[in-house]
Amino acid sequence: MKNLNMIIITGLSGSGKSVAIDALEDAGYFCVDNMPVVLLPKFLELRSGSVSEVQKLALGMDLREKEFVKEYQAIFNQLQEEGYRLEVIFLEASEDVLLKRYSQTRRQHPARKEGNLLESIRAEKEQLKGLKEFAGKIIDTSSLTVHELKDVIIKHAERGVKTERMRVTVLSFGFKYGVPLETDLLIDVRFIPNPYFIPELKTLDGKDNRVKEFVKKWPETLGFFEKYFSLLEYLIPLYEKEGKSYLTIAVGCTGGRHRSVSIAEEISAHLETLNRQVTLTHRDIELG
């Protein structure tokens, strides 16, 4: 278990720690938020004794856990001495931004006792001063959007670590059975001549080479491949940059048995040549 990459996400309340945890989860980290720091050594001991394949671990820790400030330094030092690779990422933001964020969420500040919100923010900053100095990475989120913060976190976590890329699903379907609800990108391929009306092809499906040859022989099909593959090669990295974890490309024809299946097979094969993680599903192949 000591070969795992462990990141502690901490910092000021309202600075974006939940967004950071979500980003790391999307990047393939096993994430636990608000774990008491005193339980961390025991947690690692339990994980090392299991058959878990967890190699990347991210934990959210802050003032929500009352013993955190008092205990974190001794525990973090102990784990590092035992050989664990542990990095602390500290998130902060300006007082004006924190005030604005709290006014929007109307949540109670974890350091709030007496006085107003600004005094609570300043009290938390004082309590976490030592932790900020301990941190290996400090990120000011004042001017970052949610997507920009995710991008910063993932890029930092990826240094020397192979993270999971966006998963792509290519899904064929028939319009007569409804458009898949999980669709992100939809393409209608009913412009291609229909093998259903060819007697020797009617009973086959789009995975059969004879149907594939029929579907691909038309100039409009070849033109479609050229333009659509180029579009996907342009869009997919942009969706990844935006922080998207899953992308579903739905390919539809009338019954979901011939054209959409053959086209989905070609799209999937092309994405695999680009080293993309692709899942291919034919929803209506037995219905059309």
pLDDT (0 to 100) of residue 144 = 86
Which CATH fold topology does 5-157 show?
A: Rossmann fold (3.40.50)
Length of the chain: 288
> Which backbone phi and psi does 96 adopt, to 5 degrees?
-60, -45
User: What pLDDT sits at residue 2?
Assistant: 57
Collapsed DSSP state (helix, strand, coil) of residue 60: strand
Return the higher-pLDDT residue of 287 and 214.
214
Q: What mean pLDDT value characterizes the chain?
A: 87
Alpha helix ranges (H) inside the chain: 17-26, 40-48, 68-81, 95-105, 117-127, 129-134, 146-157, 199-202, 209-216, 219-241, 259-273
The average pLDDT across 115-124 equals 84
**pLDDT over threshold 70, residue 113:** no
Q: pLDDT tens digits for 27-63?
A: 788 899 988 998 888 888 776 555 455 678 899 998 8
Tokens 């999937």 label which residue?
Answer: 268
Identify whether the C-beta of residue 251 lies closer than 8 Å to the C-beta of residue 170. yes
| Residue 211 Rama label (left phi>0; alpha psi -120 to 50; beta) | alpha
Q: Which of 137-146, 188-197, 202-211, 249-258 has the lowest mean pLDDT?
A: 137-146
Q: Please list the residue range(s) of the chain that carry CATH number 3.40.50.300.
A: 5-157
Spatial distance between the Cα atoms of 92 and 132, rounded to a whole number of angstroms = 9
pTM of model > 0.75: no
Let me know: does 249 contact 243? Beta carbons within 8 Å. no
Q: pLDDT band at residue 142, thresholds of 50, 70 and 90?
A: very high
pLDDT digits (tens, 9 = 90+) for 65-109: 888 888 999 999 888 888 888 899 999 999 999 988 887 766 778
* 132-141 mean pLDDT: 91
Pull the structure tokens for residue 253.
Answer: 């024809």
Residue 25 buriedness (CB in 10 A; 0-12 / 13-18 / 19+): middle
